[in-house]
């Protein structure tokens, strides 16, 4: 093996292999619109804290909607994991999982006490996917 191959090409190949492996489970989305409707019973205010959105904290009155536009990396490690709080409760949920939500460019969530519910259209038919709280 020549010194050029050993000292230059092999390290570059290894860097490329390790970079590809570390990014294999991560993709990138452009302009994903996320909407959250406060559907809590009892006329309760909803506070949402999401690290991936700026600003990262929102207060939503009953029946109101909050929107975010997200562009960035997405992975199954729950990059859009948010905390949902109202008096007497605090829960976490993922607002976009590429394995479950790749069909939505507009992910509209309704937040209820027993869990979030996402509205989406499959084959021209409106459907709702109920989720449990992560905590």
Q: What percent of the chain has pLDDT over 70?
A: 77
pLDDT given at position 15:
40
Q: How does DSSP assign 2-55, residue by residue?
A: -HHIIIIIHHHHHHHHHHHHHHTT-EEEEEEEEEEEE--TTS--EEEEETTSSS
pLDDT given at position 48:
95
DSSP 64: -
Instruction: Say whether 101 sits in a helix, a strand or coil.
Output: helix
pLDDT in tens, 44-74: 999 999 887 777 889 999 999 999 888 877 7
DSSP 116: E
pLDDT in tens, 91-121: 999 888 777 777 777 789 999 999 999 988 7
* Structural domains for the chain: 26-130 (2.60.40)
* Residue 79 dihedral angles phi and psi, to the nearest 5°: -70, -20
**If you average pLDDT over residues 26-41, what whole number do you get?**
86
CA distances from 91 to 9, 29, 59 (A): 50, 25, 15
Cβ-based neighbour number of residue 27 at 10 Å: 12
On whether the CB atoms of residues 94 and 80 are closer than 8 A, the answer is yes
């Amino acid at each position: 093996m020549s010194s050029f191959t050993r000292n230059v090409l092999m390290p570059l190949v290894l860097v490329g292999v390790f970079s590809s492996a570390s990014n294999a489970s991560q993709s990138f989305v452009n302009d994903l619109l996320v909407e959250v409707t406060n559907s809590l019973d009892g006329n309760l205010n909803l506070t949402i804290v999401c690290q991936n959105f700026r600003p990262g904290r929102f207060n939503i009155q009953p029946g109101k909607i909050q929107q975010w536009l997200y562009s960035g990396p997405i992975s199954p490690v729950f990059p859009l994991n948010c905390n949902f709080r109202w008096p007497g409760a605090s829960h976490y949920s993922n607002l976009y999982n590429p394995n479950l939500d790749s069909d939505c460019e507009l992910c509209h969530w309704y937040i209820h006490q027993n869990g979030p519910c996402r509205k989406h259209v499959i084959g021209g038919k409106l459907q709702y996917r109920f989720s449990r709280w992560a905590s």
